[in-house]
Amino acid sequence: MSKKIAVVEDEAELASLIEYNLNRGGFQTRVFGGGVNTFRELEAWQPDLIVLDVMLPGQDGFEICRRIRQGGKLTRTPVIFLTARSDEVDRVLGLEIGGDDYITKPFSPRELLARIKAHLRRSEADTEPKQTNVTMGPFRVDLAARRVFQLKPQGLEKEVELTSTEFKLLEFFLTHVGHAWSREQLLREVWGEQHYVTPRTVDVHIRRLREQIEEKPDEPAFLVTVRGFGYRFEVQ
């Protein structure tokens, strides 16, 4: 069955162009106009990936992405922002709130298609783990279900809600504990063929991951900075 791609775009002509190219690429595509009920409509359709504009008539794309990452049926669905807002602060914000990618207009339909395929391939690869569970320190990763649990001081196990990229990043660190990795190495190992992402992307996702797993994100106990080089994951 072809993958379902949701396109949240209020410019009808542009939405039709994207829909045409995605349909030609073999995807099942549905356009959402970005009204106030967009989030509810997305949850009902449950796409495999969402292409999301920022400036929409109902609520902006950043707010829709925040709601997606708060939990529910779409929490781990890849989100690609496609917007005219090209400032670095907007790019960083899009990644910080849980976006997996950020493309600015004008754009190449072929590049958009390539990025969509890259994210879907990575998601499919994540669902085919070599082993079922990885336990390291207070963390337990269910690779088959793509769920992460963390043992808290009170003895309770709490699920850590992560995006697809955050899950892949944490899985990598937990299977390479104690090893220092540069940003460029992490880009190659975690993001793979997505050569368009930058070292800044790594920093943004590291910060988001720390906010999920660290008691004091500004004083990390697990995901530590290796000054002048990159990052290392430590557990006792």
Residues 10-18, mean pLDDT to the nearest whole number: 95
d(CA 124, CA 105): 28
Domain housing 72: 4-126
* Residue 128 pLDDT: 54
* Residue 56 pLDDT: 93
Is the pLDDT at 27 greater than 90, yes or no?
yes
Is the pLDDT at 195 greater than 80, yes or no?
no
| CATH number, position 14 | 3.40.50.2300
Contacts of 61 (CB under 8 A, 6+ apart): 8, 34, 52, 53, 54, 55, 81, 83
**Interval 161-184: pLDDT, tens:** 888 888 889 999 998 999 999 998
Give 21's pLDDT tier (boundaries 50, 70, 90).
Answer: very high
Q: Indicate whether 108 and 137 sit together in one domain.
A: no
* Residue 194 pLDDT: 57
Average pLDDT, the chain: 88
Asked which of 126, 161, 184 is the last residue of a domain, the reply is: 126
**Interval 106-142: pLDDT, tens:** 999 999 999 999 888 877 765 554 557 888 889 998 8
**Interval 35-84: pLDDT, tens:** 999 999 999 999 999 999 999 998 899 999 999 988 788 988 999 999 99
Asked which of 99, 126, 153 is the last residue of a domain, the reply is: 126
- Count of domains for the chain: 2
Q: Indicate whether 115 and 14 sit together in one domain.
A: yes
d(CA 53, CA 209): 24
Which value, in Å, is the radius of gyration of the alpha carbons in the chain?
Answer: 18
Asked which of 109, 126, 143 is the last residue of a domain, the reply is: 126
DSSP state of 218: T
Q: Indicate whether 148 and 220 sit together in one domain.
A: yes
